[in-house]
Amino acid sequence: MCIAVPAKVVSSDGMTALVDVYGDRFTVSLAMMSEPVAAGDFLAIQARRHAIDKVPRDEAHAARTFFESVFPELAARARAQEGSP
């Protein structure tokens, strides 16, 4: 079993997507996706290269909340991105 922080889609051109994981942005291939991807979607990413599945928004938020509770530095990065102290 693999667990990963869901990556939020910043933009997509149909073949690739720019994703954000706590301020770390990188481009992933959408070749393995069976459905369209749009900005604001959350994705499961494999090896920082391939999107393998969409993650429902509520599940993505639950996963991020879990990771932020286990890794306080992620919570700090999330607050910094939102502009909160």
Q: 4-46: per-residue pLDDT in tens?
A: 889 999 999 999 999 999 889 999 999 999 999 999 999 999 9
pLDDT band at 74 (very low <50, low <70, confident <90, very high): confident
> What class does CATH assign to 7-82?
mainly beta
Question: Given this model, what pLDDT does residue 81 score?
Answer: 77
**Do 79 and 21 touch, CB atoms closer than 8 A?**
no
Distance in angstroms (rounded) separating the CA atoms of residues 24 and 4: 14
pLDDT band at 79 (very low <50, low <70, confident <90, very high): confident
CA angle 66, 75, 77 (to 5 degrees): 135
Distance in angstroms (rounded) separating the CA atoms of residues 8 and 1: 21
pLDDT band at 2 (very low <50, low <70, confident <90, very high): low
